[in-house]
Amino acid sequence: MFQHRPRRLMATAAASLALAAGASTTAFAAQTHHAPPAPKPTVVLVHGAWADSSSWSGVVKRLQADGYPVTAPANPLRGLGSDSSYLADYLRTIKGPIVLVGHSYGGAVITDAATGNSQVKALVYVAAFAPDKGESTADLVGRFPGSHLSDDPGAPLPTALNPVPFTQADGSTGTDLYIKAGKYRDVFLSNRVSPAQAAELAATQRPVSAQAVGEPSGTPAWKTIPSWYLVADDDHTIPPAAERAMAARAHAHTVEVDGPHALAVTDPYAVTRLVEQAAATR
């Protein structure tokens, strides 16, 4: 009558072992499970006057190699209000967090475009304008000595610039401003690149309208969004003193490098490093 008992004992033992193994597997899985890392923010690079999106090429290459989604939209350079509205619309097409980077006049554009956009987690200014409400980029350049845009403070137009009239959509006359070819290497690059490379960049420069540089800024995003600032100590376009003052006013995390206005061209590593610092701060 007891012939089946060993089989029952063996079955019970096997079931116990199976339960124990299952519990151990569950515990091991719980110990080794890690939440997937948060996706990296999209970096949006906004060029300024006398450059184009290709000026970011060295930065784009490095950011992409580090796994960041990157885009460098064209900045129209027609007027601060319209340029900012254009960028604001563009930003609304991007899903997820954004690190918004501006160079030169592009800094003024991101300052207005990011206002009210909760997806923009950080602003990065690269030798850029960070105006307060009511300030224009022309105001900020003229407020501090050191710019090589003009060697005659009394001239109606900075002497390094070449005005080119054009007909606007409404039939009125606008004025595009180019840096004169012979001045470009000094003003934009502080003579840090070869004459041949400077000549190529001068030939492909995008002009900015006189309206854009004289138009006052709106409510600045840097008052509500954390900012970072890369000061170019040898900038011949925006005086370094102006850059330091704007960075301090915005309470920006500030780094200074020995370089010209076109830092993304001459030192893409320094630009990339600061952008990634901003992106890593949540």
Q: Kindly report the pTM of this predicted structure.
A: 0.87
CATH class of 42-280: alpha beta
- pLDDT higher for 15 or 247? 247
For residue 54, with 0-12 CB atoms within 10 Å meaning exposed, 13-18 middle and 19 or more buried, which class applies? Answer: middle
Cβ-based neighbours of 141, under 8 Å, separated by 6 or more = 147, 149, 237, 238, 239, 242
The residues, ordered by sequence, that sit 6+ positions from 196 with a Cβ below 8 Å of its Cβ are: none
The residues spanned by each domain of the chain are: 42-280
Q: Is 74 helix (H, G, I), strand (E, B) or coil?
A: coil
Distance CA 116, CA 114 (A): 6
Provide mean pLDDT across the span 205-228: 97
63 has pLDDT over 80 = yes
Per-residue confidence band for 244, with pLDDT thresholds at 50, 70 and 90: very high
- The stretches of 71-167 forming alpha helices (DSSP H) are 80-91, 105-113, 137-142
- Choice between 204 and 33, residue whose per-residue pLDDT is larger: 204
> Looking at per-residue confidence, does 151 or 135 come out higher?
135
Q: How many helices (H) and strands (E) does the chain have?
A: 11, 9
Tens of pLDDT along 94-137? 999 999 999 999 999 999 999 999 999 999 999 999 999 999 99
Both structure tokens of 31: 């110990």
